[in-house]
Amino acid sequence: MMTVLTLNTLRDRYPTADDRDRLTAYAAGVRDRLAAVREIESVEKVVIEVTLDRIRDLYPNFTRYHAVGWEKGYRDMQLLLQFMAKAMLVDDVRLLDDQVLTWVRTIFKSLNFTPKFLRDSYTILRDAVRVATKPRTYALMEPLLTHTIHYLSDIPEPVRPEV
């Protein structure tokens, strides 16, 4: 895996043989990664709409707790999907954690979302991406989608669930 952090370590030294091998392997996949980002962008709206429709079916009381929850949910999923695509492009899951997941997980906890609600929501998103994209795109995105499911649902059960 070639990460932004790995590239940053080269600021004060020449690449080692291992660094060169990782850079070469990463460079060989850039074209596929860029194509995957374009494909995610082209299916984003449909994927999110399908996901939110399914979540509405599973959690019909959600609106009772969150009056504009679906609008915010669309925005949140769009943001997360875009950041997952960017992290996939640079092959760096830690970038996803640092730039968005830690922040969003804190917000979700404050909204009294349950771990099950988050796990269900982002599993549905992962499944929608799998259906809407080519196998190569899904293969590149799947680790980020799965990581997001685990990271966001790793919260305590709220005292007063609001989903």
Could you list the pLDDT tens digit for every one of the 163 residues in the chain? 556 556 777 888 898 898 888 888 888 899 999 999 999 999 999 999 999 999 999 999 999 999 999 999 999 999 999 999 999 999 999 999 999 999 999 999 999 999 999 999 999 999 999 999 999 999 999 999 999 999 999 999 999 999 9
Q: What is the pLDDT of residue 25?
A: 86
Total number of domains in the chain: 1
Q: Does residue 134 form part of some domain?
A: yes
Distance from chain centroid for Cα 92: 12
Q: What is the pLDDT of residue 10?
A: 81
Q: Does residue 45 form part of some domain?
A: yes
CA–CA distance, 33 with 60 (Å, rounded to integer): 37
Q: Does residue 23 form part of some domain?
A: no
Q: Does residue 8 form part of some domain?
A: no
Q: What is the pLDDT of residue 22?
A: 84
Q: What is the pLDDT of residue 97?
A: 95
CA–CA distance, 1 with 67 (Å, rounded to integer): 42
Q: Does residue 25 form part of some domain?
A: no
Q: Where are the alpha helices (DSSP H) in the chain?
A: 4-8, 17-58, 62-65, 69-90, 93-96, 102-110, 115-132, 135-153
Q: Does residue 158 form part of some domain?
A: no
- Here the tokens at position 22 are 């990782």
Q: Is 122 exposed, middle or buried (0-12, 13-18, 19+ CB in 10 A)?
A: buried
Task: List for the chain the helix, strand, coil content (%; round to 5).
Answer: 80, 0, 20
Q: What is the pLDDT of residue 6?
A: 65
Q: Does residue 64 form part of some domain?
A: yes
Q: Does residue 30 form part of some domain?
A: no
- Here the tokens at position 90 are 């640079």
Confirm if 148 and 84 have CB atoms less than 8 A apart: yes
CA–CA distance, 88 with 69 (Å, rounded to integer): 28
How would you label 75-95 residue by residue, b for 16+ Cβ within 10 Å and e otherwise?
A: ebbeebbebbbbbbbbbbbeb
CA–CA distance, 24 with 20 (Å, rounded to integer): 6
List the domain range (segments joined by +) for residue 107.
36-153
CATH code of residue 131:
1.10.490.20
Q: What is the pLDDT of residue 12?
A: 86
The total number of residues written for the chain in this structure:
163
